[in-house]
Amino acid sequence: MRAVQKTVSRLCIMAAYSGHTEVVKLLLDNNADVNQCGYTGATPLYVSVQQGHTEVVKLLLDNNADVNASRSDDGATPLYMAAQSRHIEEVKLLINRNADVNKRRTNNGATPLYAAAVKGHIEVVQLLLNKNTNINACGYTGATPLFMAAQQGLTEVASLLLDKNADLSESRTHDNATPLSVAAQNTHIEVVKLLINHNADVNARRTDIDATPLFTAALNGHTDVVQLLLANNADANVSCRDDGSTPLYIAAQYGYTEVVKLLLENNADVNRRRTFGGATPLYAAAQNGHTEVVNLLLNNKADVNP
């Protein structure tokens, strides 16, 4: 008898996955276990949410499906899957049945809000925030929903999170990178503007390369980001990395003429040496054959014989 019930329950998972509402109802009426897990540890509710079968989801919830039952292989809940997949109706149904909005996946520590933010699902983010989800809950890397939105240039999501008082200073654990740091690194100019307008620290350092957002932007030749950071009091002469390179030195080394111009216009020290080896920006530009930069530095009183 138990083997028969198990078979019926497995059939229920298959029917739920395929969206066959009447079949699911018939199986439930014949004692299928509404919370029976399949081979991946997913319940009928999980797979129906995953596939966006709203009517099946309603039926299962009305039959006391466990709203927080997580998949055994990664700990993802139905709400997590709905949030990640932008299944709005399923998110609403699960929240209204008191799904745990802060329950984390076991394999990466991510919450439903994190999953929605990463994907740029603004409607889902709003629904979750309205239910008092932990706005700063981070995954195992220490990245918050705001960090992920900033990293991927999701301006609308970042704006919503900031309006709900997401922590600007919360940094990723392994390198202390802030949302502003990764937005600057990836040239997400609108997100950079947004973060600065919310008083993000423009001189906060990340520890893996000991660099500020300005240094990172200069390193990658992101002229617009450099200009914006300088206009908001970023330190043009900060020494970064273990060799003491400045933003001007690194821009000169890579031949980013427009970045060099901006830095010089904002009082970057044209003769500031690296702490390792003592090389100047002029030396770096000359060594790498960047004629325009060499000329620009000379016109700004770079010392030929430091």
The 10s digit of each residue's pLDDT in 242-267 is 788 999 999 999 999 999 999 999 99
Is the confidence at residue 4, as pLDDT, over 50? no
Q: pLDDT averaged over the chain?
A: 92
Percent of the chain with pLDDT over 70: 96
Q: Which has the minimum average pLDDT: 204-218, 249-263, 288-302?
A: 204-218
Q: Total domain count for the chain? A: 1
The 10s digit of each residue's pLDDT in 268-294 is 999 999 888 889 999 999 999 999 999
- Answer yes or no: is 279 within a domain: yes
- Answer yes or no: is 219 within a domain: yes
Judged on CB neighbours under 10 Å (0-12, 13-18, 19+), 3 is exposed
Cβ proximity of 179 and 201 under 8 Å: no
Q: What value does the mean pLDDT take over residues 172-201?
A: 93
Please state, as a whole number, how many other Cβ atoms lie within 10 Å of the Cβ of residue 165.
Answer: 10
Cβ proximity of 111 and 133 under 8 Å: yes
Is the confidence at residue 179, as pLDDT, over 60? yes
Q: Which residues lie closer than 8 Å to 161 by C-beta, 6 or more apart?
A: 117, 125, 129, 135, 145, 146, 149
- Answer yes or no: is 229 within a domain: yes
Question: Distances in Å between the alpha carbon of 200 and those of 4, 183, 195, 204?
Answer: 61, 12, 5, 9
- Answer yes or no: is 94 within a domain: no
pLDDT at res. 9: 67
Is the confidence at residue 35, as pLDDT, over 50? yes
- Answer yes or no: is 237 within a domain: yes
Is the confidence at residue 57, as pLDDT, over 90? yes
Three-state SS for 44?
Answer: helix
- Answer yes or no: is 108 within a domain: no
Q: What value does the mean pLDDT take over residues 208-227?
A: 94
pLDDT at res. 241: 82
Q: Domain containing 305 — which CATH number?
A: 1.25.40.20
| Local structure of residue 211 (DSSP, 8 states) | B
236, two tokens? 């043009």
Is the confidence at residue 116, as pLDDT, over 80? yes
Domain range holding 281?
Answer: 209-306
Task: Provide the β-strand partners of residue 240.
Answer: 245
Is the confidence at residue 300, as pLDDT, over 50? yes
- Answer yes or no: is 260 within a domain: yes
Cβ proximity of 136 and 165 under 8 Å: no
Is the confidence at residue 174, as pLDDT, over 80? no
- Answer yes or no: is 217 within a domain: yes
